[in-house]
Amino acid sequence: MDLAPQCRPSMTLKVTAAIFSKPPLAALVVGSAIHLFSWINAYLVGMNYIDNVFIHFDMHLLHGLGRILIPFLVPGIVTYLGRYLSRYRQKELMGHFPEMNPDLIFKIDDGGCVEYVNPTVKSHLDRLGLDEYDAASILPEDFLSHIKAVSGQDKITQVSHYIDGANIEFTFRGIEAHTSVFVSGHDSTRLHNLQRHLKESQNHIDQMTDFLGDALSDYGQEEFDIHSLHQGIIGTLMNPDQKDMDLRACHVFLAEFKDGKLRGYTYQNTKDGIVRAPDEIVIDPQKEKYAILQGIGQLTWSNWEDEVDCIEDFQARFHPTVQKQIGTIERFATFNSGRIALIAFYNGRKITDLDAMVLKGLAVYASGLHRISHEQTQTEQAFVYTVNSLARASEANDEDTGDHIVRINEYSRAIAAAMDLPAEFVRTIHYSAQMHDVGKIHVNPAILKKPGKLTAAEFKEMQSHPTYGAKILGESSRLAMAAEIALGHHEKYNGKGYPKGLSGEDIPLSARIVALVDVYDALRQKRVYKPAFSHKKAMDIITKGDGRTDPAEFDPKVLAAFLKIETEMEQIFDSYVN
């Protein structure tokens, strides 16, 4: 409903107000009206009003003048006195306004001397242990420059100043033709804190968005590490690099529902970064009703002062281990999203729905990333299982047992690590090396199982298995290293290998590593044409040669790493025999 038309004055009221705002005009109008009504009244009773007035003139001049002028003089005087009293009352009320104003009010001359302070200023000075003579001490240090800037002019300047921890917005108001300046100070601490809080909430959202973008950029890689995700999730909520630490959670408990129970860890925001407590916390939702479970299906936050009379009673809402790791808990916010439960703990200031909404967004992000991580892990496990199955299939018609491919994986990983190769290389060769002989699937089983010496044709067929292996593995990026190992593991550093006769670093590094460990493992195993050699015997053949094996066949850097960890090589063989 539009009430505005009812609030507008009518034209009659406007005209009446205009008349009575000017005493001479009010006297003229009212006096003329009185004479008009007097004339009408005389006419109605058969009298002549004008003749009657002149009769009074004839009788007494002053009496006649009074008869004419009094109707004009009385309303004029009344109107003037009314205006005067109204202005006096308004001035009196305005005089009381600074006294009743909750803001700090000063009147200061152009020299910086304080002429007046209101009770709010006096009360503030009392709290600070100061008297009225020290009133200028709570003004901004450069207050005199602001005084001079507006003195004698209809101008305003504003400046912020902190007094006893409060953010005060000072306004300096000058008045034209007056040297004194009125200064008001408004406590905007609450508004300032709210703006700060809103800005921090926006920073949280920006960080969460950046983190989500970074995390999803890794999607599709072989590893989508859940522990790194946890660190990133907690980091967006507890970033220790931010200045406004009072707006940040001091501890976070991040947990996941597994097998009907909630399992997780607490994280602490320290000057050295985010630290995870060592002890896992397990909660049974069927038996234990702690605060973190309040976030199931709803966003929950709480400040102890609003809930209980004693902060000790507030502690019963939290798991004993949480209390032990965090200490006295003052306030928290919690939300559950999918399998993820998140509860953040704060100290100092009261938390609001802004803190809770940030936590909710983070919990939803965390839940989505956890789902992706679990699916990625399952996909990776299925991939590795398929690779293992393919590698074992290649051994089906060979005299090697399945332990051979396991050992080749372990040898290759150990040497790659000893050479300080990138972690991704080490991880990839750990599952790729086992497929070095996958091409044997295409070789006639009779050749693979033949106990005697191979014919030239049979040997040529055997030498084709690297090429077959590379074709089987194809051009998949996930199997690229496996393909280069399959094709190159019989190449020799001195160029005397097959199928291409490559030499030196033209042979892929992964193939150079597998070439060495494949020879070592073959020497350690029993063959139809030779017994199983000891570790020492195998090392002598590799490092000194025996007519069939020449040290020049191996990459010197790979051989150096092999010799550096030869004890580990022996341990690997002994761990995976039969």
Dihedral (CA of 543, 540, 404, 463) sign: positive
Say whether pLDDT at 50 is over 70. Answer: yes
Reduced to 3 states (helix: H, G, I; strand: E, B; else coil), residue 509 is helix
pLDDT for 56: 67
- pLDDT grade for 146, boundaries at 50, 70 and 90: very high
Highest-pLDDT range among 187-201, 293-307, 535-549: 535-549
Give percent of the chain above pLDDT 70.
Answer: 84
Say whether pLDDT at 283 is over 50. Answer: yes
C-alpha Rg value of the chain to the nearest Å:
48
Q: Which of 172-176, 221-225, 391-395 has the lowest mean pLDDT?
A: 221-225
Place of tokens 């860890």: 265
pLDDT for 512: 97
Taking the CA atoms of residue 94, residue 99, residue 102 and residue 104 in that order, the dihedral angle to the nearest 10 degrees is: 100
pLDDT for 500: 94
Contacts of 457 (CB under 8 A, 6+ apart): none
C-alpha span between 292 and 333 (Å, rounded): 9
| More confident: 480 or 42 | 480
Say whether pLDDT at 479 is over 70. Answer: yes
Mean pLDDT, the chain, rounded, equals 82
101-187 and 193-376 in the same fold: yes
Q: What is the CATH number of domain 193-376?
A: 3.30.450.40
Highest-pLDDT range among 31-40, 113-122, 184-193, 421-430: 421-430
- pLDDT grade for 562, boundaries at 50, 70 and 90: very high
C-alpha span between 173 and 168 (Å, rounded): 16
Average pLDDT over every residue of 187-201: 66
Average pLDDT over every residue of 445-460: 85
- pLDDT grade for 7, boundaries at 50, 70 and 90: very low
Q: Give the distance between the most distant pair of CA atoms in the chain.
A: 168
Highest-pLDDT range among 99-108, 367-376, 563-572: 563-572
Average pLDDT over every residue of 339-365: 79
pLDDT for 210: 63
Q: Return the ∠ at Cα 130 (arms to 126 and 136), rounded to 5°.
A: 115
Q: Which of 25-34, 95-104, 258-267, 546-555 has the lowest mean pLDDT?
A: 95-104
pLDDT for 212: 61
C-alpha span between 23 and 93 (Å, rounded): 24
User: Where in the chain are the domains?
Assistant: 9-97, 101-187, 193-376, 395-575
- pLDDT grade for 390, boundaries at 50, 70 and 90: confident
C-alpha span between 316 and 132 (Å, rounded): 50
| More confident: 78 or 204 | 78
Which among 7, 354, 425 is positioned nearest to 193, based on CA atoms?
Answer: 354
- pLDDT grade for 200, boundaries at 50, 70 and 90: low
Neighbour tally for 112: CB within 10 Å: 14
Average pLDDT over every residue of 351-360: 78
List of long-range contacts for 462-466, beta carbons under 8 Å, 24+ apart: 463/490, 463/498, 463/499, 464/439, 464/499, 465/437, 465/439, 465/440, 466/439, 466/490, 466/498, 466/499
Reduced to 3 states (helix: H, G, I; strand: E, B; else coil), residue 464 is coil
Are the CB atoms for 226 and 369 separated by under 8 Å?
no
C-alpha span between 285 and 264 (Å, rounded): 14
Give the tokens for residue 12.
């009659």
- pLDDT grade for 8, boundaries at 50, 70 and 90: low
Cis before residue 320, ω within 30 degrees of 0? no
pLDDT for 3: 37
Burial group, residue 510, by CB count within 10 angstroms (0-12, 13-18, 19+): buried
What is the per-residue DSSP string for 478-498? GGHHHHHHHHHTT--TTS--S
Cross-strand bridge partners of residue 161: 168
Say whether pLDDT at 225 is over 80. Answer: no
- Calculate helix-pair angle for 189-217, 226-238, nearest 10 degrees: 160
pLDDT for 199: 64
Say whether pLDDT at 526 is over 90. Answer: no
Architecture of domain 395-575: Orthogonal Bundle (1.10)
C-alpha span between 462 and 446 (Å, rounded): 11
pLDDT for 215: 58
Read off the pLDDT of residues 310-339 as tens digits, 9 standing for 90 and up: 999 999 999 999 999 989 999 998 888 878
pLDDT for 239: 63
Cross-strand bridge partners of residue 255: 264, 341
Say whether pLDDT at 523 is over 60. Answer: yes
pLDDT for 226: 63
Cross-strand bridge partners of residue 269: 274
Q: Return the ∠ at Cα 115 (arms to 114 and 120), rounded to 5°.
A: 80
C-alpha span between 114 and 181 (Å, rounded): 10
Say whether pLDDT at 205 is over 70. Answer: no
Give the tokens for residue 63.
């009496």
Say whether pLDDT at 2 is over 50. Answer: no
Q: Which of 158-172, 231-245, 247-261, 436-450 has the lowest mean pLDDT?
A: 231-245
Cross-strand bridge partners of residue 530: 527
Superfamily of domain 101-187 in CATH is: PAS domain (3.30.450.20)
Say whether pLDDT at 545 is over 50. Answer: yes
| More confident: 368 or 390 | 390
pLDDT for 6: 42
pTM: 0.53
Q: Which of 198-207, 215-224, 305-314, 413-422 has the lowest mean pLDDT?
A: 215-224
pLDDT for 287: 87
Reduced to 3 states (helix: H, G, I; strand: E, B; else coil), residue 250 is coil
Q: Return the ∠ at Cα 54 (arms to 53 and 57), rounded to 5°.
A: 100
Burial group, residue 99, by CB count within 10 angstroms (0-12, 13-18, 19+): exposed
Are the CB atoms for 123 and 103 separated by under 8 Å?
no
Please, what's the b/e burial string for 283-299 (b: 16 or more CB within 10 A of its CB; e: otherwise)? beeeeeebbbbbbeeeb
Highest-pLDDT range among 152-161, 438-447, 465-474, 511-520: 511-520
Read off the pLDDT of residues 68-86 as tens digits, 9 standing for 90 and up: 788 788 877 888 887 777 7
Place of tokens 């580990």: 568
